Amino acid sequence: MTIHRKSGELYIEDKAASDIAEEFGTPCYVYSRSSVETNFNRFKNAFGERKSLVCYAVKANSNIAIIKILAQLGSGFDIVSGGELSRVLAAEGDPSKIVFSGVGKTHAEIKYALQKKIKCFNVESESELYRISDIAKEMNIAANISLRVNPDVDAKTHPYISTGLKENKFGVDVNDATRLYKVAAELPNIVPTGIDCHIGSQLTDIAPMRDAALKMVELTDKLITENIVIDHIDFGGGLGIQYQNETPIHQELFVEMLLEVMSEREQEILVEPGRSIVGNSGVLLTKVEYLKHGSNKNFIVVDAAMNDLARPSLYNAYHHIDSIRRDENKPAKRYDIVGPICETGDFLGKDRDLYVNEGDILAIHSVGAYGMTMSSNYNSRGRASEILIDDTHAHIIRKRESVDELFHNERTAP
């Protein structure tokens, strides 16, 4: 058990949440190293000896300590910016295991990635193909590319994080893919080495993933008839986790589906999971500043806010919230848990039954993915610290941001 209860008290590995909050202050993100490792290894072990590469989607949690843990386990990385490339390199990730996704790669980002000799660009448009070709030619270097194909399947998830439909901005139309591969094969300094897709995030139904996978395999066969032979198929990420009552898609089930779809083929299998590796590996600890009882609603005002965790405000996402010291016998009241930011949308949870006192510490669960990476400085709030727990050891892996750091780059005009 990595994040668990012992006699009503929350533990992250062998460290009590109360000790962590006391030592490092709140709000703070706390991650379990063994949880991250276990989740990664579930993918890796499920593939066994099959030629495959798990490319962790850095956007989910890009702290260099997290990246380093995964790099040490042999992970590859899915990046979407030059900034993420720098992070992976700083954490000693292997550039030859990096794939670069995203619809808006700049000239500088492409050049940087070519210099570092990444494995492959997941190309999202015809214009991007031309741009990569021009830059690679200038540098006298070959660029490996795969086309991100939009398979037009409905991933049945939140519309903001669904990406595989024709109306989404991502990828190229599956019906136009063959033509584009032919264009790519003719372009100077471009080597088509793969096919790629990613249909959405927080998916809890494997059927659309299987449909997309089958379409990728079908396309691979079609390309062979055009003498375009690719060496890997990247099936993206998107496995949902349990926030509340969802039934997650287990890593093993997903991999089993891919192994079955790919049973007759020898191309390397790539996947790009983010959330399913780190999502349930982290909690956000926050202190109860005030209790506010009204005639219609009761509020718990905490020291974390929408700038620390945007998911509830942005997607109306549910994150389980409880007290780090739980006493089932105490009378619960119904509360909204809100932050100090001047917006009605600044809530972390609604209508939760809790027994709390001012000064108590609450844990917001399942925040390891898209928590810290989506945080901001709104209301001039410094970003929270991040702590990594390894058995009984707590390592500070990101210092709390100071107010000085917030306006360090600002200047008053004369």
Residue ranges that bind ligand LLP, judged by CB under 6 A: 57, 60, 78, 101, 161, 198, 201-202, 236-239, 272-276, 311, 369-370, 374
366-389 burial, b at 16+ Cβ within 10 Å, e below that, comes to: bbbbbbbbbbeeeeebebbbbbbb
State the nearest-atom distance from the C-beta of 236 to ligand LLP, in Å. 5
- Please, what is the minimum distance in Å from the beta carbon of residue 380 to ligand LLP? 24
| CA 156 centroid distance within chain | 18
The answer to whether residue 342 is catalytic is yes
Give 13 or 84: the residue with its C-beta nearer to ligand LLP: 84
255 vs 369 by CB, closer to ligand LLP: 369
Helix/strand/coil percent split, the chain, to 5: 35, 25, 40
Residue 69 CA to residue 8 CA, distance in Å, equals 30
Q: Provide, rounded to whole angstroms, the least separation between the CB of residue 346 and ligand LLP.
A: 17
- Closer of 139 and 161 to ligand LLP (Cβ): 161
- The least CB distance from residue 356 to ligand LLP, in Å, is 26
Over the Cα atoms of the chain, what is R_g? 23
CA 27 to CA 371: how far, in whole Å? 12
Residue 276 or 385: which CB sits closer to ligand LLP? 276
The DSSP code for 359 is T
In whole angstroms, give the CA distance from residue 375 to residue 393. 26
Structure tokens at 108: 């500088």
Complex with ligand LLP: residue 74 or 159, whichever CB lies closer: 159
- 263 alpha-carbon distance from chain centroid: 28
Residues sharing a CB contact under 8 Å with residue 176, sequence separation 6 or more, in sequence order: none
234 φ, ψ (degrees, to nearest 5): -105, 115
Task: List the one residue out of 189, 81, 79 whose CA is nearest residue 132.
Answer: 189
Question: Among residues 15 and 87, whose Cβ is nearest to ligand LLP?
Answer: 87
- Contacts with 329 (C-beta within 8 Å, 6 or more apart), sequence order: none
362 or 369: whose CB is closer to ligand LLP? 369
The 10 Å CB-count burial string (b at 16+, else e) for 23-55 is ebebbbbbbbbbbbbebbebbbebbeeeebbbb
Nearest distance, CB of residue 227 and ligand LLP, angstroms: 28
Q: Which one is catalytic: 28, 55, 197, 342?
A: 342
Tokens of 153: 């399947």
Q: What minimum distance in Å lies between the beta carbon of 27 and ligand LLP?
A: 18
In angstroms, the CA 359 to CA 19 distance is 14
**In what helix (H) or strand (E) does residue 88 lie, and over which residues does it extend?**
helix 82-90
Residues noted as catalytic? 342
